Amino acid sequence: MTNHLGRPGNGAWHLTVRFALYGALFGCCFPLIVTLLDVIWIQQIPLVLVNVLAVQRAQPLHWIIDTAPFVLAAAGGLLGDRQERAVQSGLDYRLLDDNSFDVILVNRVRSELVHTNTLKLVYCSPLVERLTGYTPDEFGALSVPARKCGVDQRDGRQRTPQRSAEGSED
């Protein structure tokens, strides 16, 4: 069974489990390294299983460090879930594009940007090129008033942002 990316697995659980496993494996490095350093360098005792277990029992700090695989596995699982949601969000936009006859714009609004009359364009559907002549990237670079279609707020005239064709007079 493949997910929507064509990879084996079933979507969110696949990435979540994979990232959690990466986090747990990376987290296992911390207790191993710290225990080895404590046994060999700090305690200066032979590296045998009995000494490793004795150092683990004697130092409460090792108990805290031993939780690193669990903490990093949980963090990795959360990151995997977020990654899958981000991918799915992009697919939702594509689904809208395939079934829509309107231009879809997604803007990110920040309070400090609202007063300067500029918005960060997060997503612009490819249909904007057919309607305005601007590619989605070019349309995103336009100022907010230039993006508006219909009545211009400054002079009340009807206008549509159209790119002039090459070689034609305006």
Q: Based on the domain organization, do 134 and 109 belong to the same domain?
A: yes
Q: Are residues 22 and 58 in the same domain?
A: yes
Whether residue 15 contacts residue 82, with contact meaning beta carbons closer than 8 Å, is answered with no
Q: Are 90 and 22 members of one domain?
A: yes
DSSP designation for 7: S
* Pairing state between β 150-151 and 158-159: antiparallel
> If DSSP codes are grouped into helix, strand and coil, which group holds residue 36?
helix
Residue that finishes a domain, picked among 45, 77, 98? 98
pTM for the full predicted model: 0.50
123 and 150 both lie in a single domain: yes
Residue 166 above 70 pLDDT? no
Give pLDDT tens digits for 77-133.
Answer: 999 888 888 777 766 667 777 777 777 777 766 555 445 555 677 778 888 888 778
Task: For residue 73, give the nearest of 120, 123, 22 by alpha carbon.
Answer: 22
Say whether both 80 and 18 belong to one domain. Answer: yes
What is the rounded distance in angstroms from the CA atom of residue 43 to the CA atom of residue 139?
A: 66
User: Same domain for 63 and 136?
Assistant: no
DSSP 165: P
Structure tokens at 123: 């997503």
Structural domain includes residue 26: yes
Number of domains observed in the structure of the chain:
2
State which residues form the domain around 119: 105-159
Choose the final residue of a domain: 62, 80, 98: 98
Reported as a single tens digit per residue, the pLDDT across 20-48 is 999 999 999 999 999 999 999 999 999 99
* Residue 121 and residue 71 share a domain: no
Pair 89, 54 in one domain = yes
Map tokens 């009340």 to a residue.
156
- The DSSP bridge partners found for residue 8 are 2
Query: Do 16 and 93 belong together in one domain?
Result: yes
Say yes or no: 29 and 93 in one domain.
yes
Q: Are residues 80 and 122 in the same domain?
A: no
Say if 168 falls within a structural domain: no
Answer yes or no: do 72 and 114 share one domain: no
User: Within 13 Å of residue 163, how many CA atoms lie on the same side as its CB?
Assistant: 14
Of 98, 128, 146, which marks where a domain is finished?
Answer: 98
